[in-house]
Amino acid sequence: MCWTSMLVIVFLLLVTLCAQGGNGEEREGAQRQGHVSVMIVGGTGDLAKKYLWQGFFRLYINQVGQGNTFSFYAGGLSPSDETTPIFFEILKAVSCSKDVSPERCAILKDQFLRLSQYRQLKSLEDYQDLAKHIEKQLQEEGMTEAGRLFYLSVPAFAYADIADKINSSCRPTSGAWLRVVLEKPFGHDFRSAQVLASQLRGSLQDEEMYRIDHYLGKQVVAKILPFRIENKKFLDPIWNKHHIERVEIVIKEALNVKGRISFYDQYGVIRDMLQNHLTEIMTLLTMRPPKNLSSSEEVLQNKLHILSSVLPLGKNQAVIGQYQAYNSEVQQELNKTKDHVSLTPTFAAVLAHIDEAQYEGVPVLLISGKMLDERVGYARILFKNDIFCLENHNSIHCKPKQIVFYFGHGRLQYPAILVSKNLFKPLSLNNEWKEVTEHTDISVLGSPISDYYVQTPAEQREAYVELISHIYAGRKNSFISTENLLASWDLWTPLLSSLASSFPRIYPGGVDNGNLLDIHLKGTAITYISEEVIISPDQMGGTSSNSFQVIHGKFRSADMVSAWAEELMERLAADIQEAAEAAVHDGGVFHLALSGGSSPLALFHRLALHHFSFPWRNTHVWMVDERCVPQTELESNFHTLHDHLLQHVRIPYYNIHPMPVQLNQRLCVEEDRGAQLYEKEISKLVNGSSFHFVLLGVGYDGHTASLFPGSKIDALEENLVALTESPVKPHQRMSLTFSAINRAHKVALLVMGKGKHEMVTQLSRVKDNLEKWPVTWVKPANGRLVWYIDYDALLG
Whether the upstream peptide bond of residue 730 has omega within 30° of 0, thus cis, is yes
Q: What is the number of other CB atoms lying within 10 angstroms of the CB of residue 446?
A: 9
Q: What stretch of H or E contains 83?
A: helix 80-91
Starting at the edge strand found earlier in the chain, the sheet holding 721-725 runs 625-627, 732-736, 721-725
Task: Specify the pLDDT at position 714.
Answer: 66
Residues 43-69 have pLDDT tens digits of 999 999 999 999 999 999 999 888 889
Question: Running DSSP on this structure, what letter comes out for residue 255?
Answer: S
SS3 of 35, please?
strand
Average pLDDT, integer, range 659-686: 95
pLDDT over threshold 90, residue 4: no
Look at phi and psi of residue 221 and say left if phi exceeds 0, alpha if psi is from -120 to 50, else beta: alpha
pLDDT over threshold 90, residue 174: no
SS3 of 758, please?
helix
Contacts for 206 with CB less than 8 Å, ≥ 6 apart: 481, 482
Residues 310-324 have pLDDT tens digits of 999 999 999 999 998
| 399 vs 647 pLDDT, higher one | 647
| 277 classed as catalytic | yes
Average pLDDT, integer, range 524-545: 59
Cα separation, 481 vs 209, whole angstroms = 8
Task: Specify the pLDDT at position 150.
Answer: 97
Strand partners, 404: 380, 418
Residues 67-109 have pLDDT tens digits of 889 999 999 999 999 999 999 999 999 999 888 999 999 999 9
Cα separation, 683 vs 400, whole angstroms = 55
Task: Specify the pLDDT at position 501.
Answer: 82
What is the residue type of 261? I
3-state SS of 654-671 is HHEECCCCEECCEECCHH
Task: Specify the pLDDT at position 715.
Answer: 63
By C-alpha distance, which of 484, 627, 583 is closest to 186?
A: 484
Asked if 627 contacts 661 with a C-beta cutoff of 8 angstroms, the reply is yes
Contacts for 412 with CB less than 8 Å, ≥ 6 apart: 406, 442, 444, 449
* Mean pLDDT of the residues in the chain: 89
Asked if 591 contacts 688 with a C-beta cutoff of 8 angstroms, the reply is no
Cα separation, 41 vs 76, whole angstroms = 6
Residues 410-441 have pLDDT tens digits of 889 899 999 999 999 998 777 889 999 888 88
By C-alpha distance, which of 248, 343, 788, 398 is closest to 571?
A: 788
pLDDT over threshold 70, residue 3: no
Task: Compute CA distances 452 → 276, 326, 435, 437, whole Å.
Answer: 29, 39, 11, 10
Question: How many Cα atoms sit within 13 Å of 684 on the Cβ side?
Answer: 7
Residues 204-228 have pLDDT tens digits of 999 999 999 999 999 999 999 999 9
pLDDT over threshold 60, residue 11: no
pTM: predicted TM-score of the whole model, two decimal places: 0.67
Residue among 35, 214, 277, 745 flagged as catalytic:
277
Q: What is the largest CA-CA distance in the chain?
A: 114
Task: Specify the pLDDT at position 540.
Answer: 45
Please give the torsion angle defined by the CA atoms of residues 588, 593, 598 and 603, in that order, rounded to the nearest 10 degrees: -20
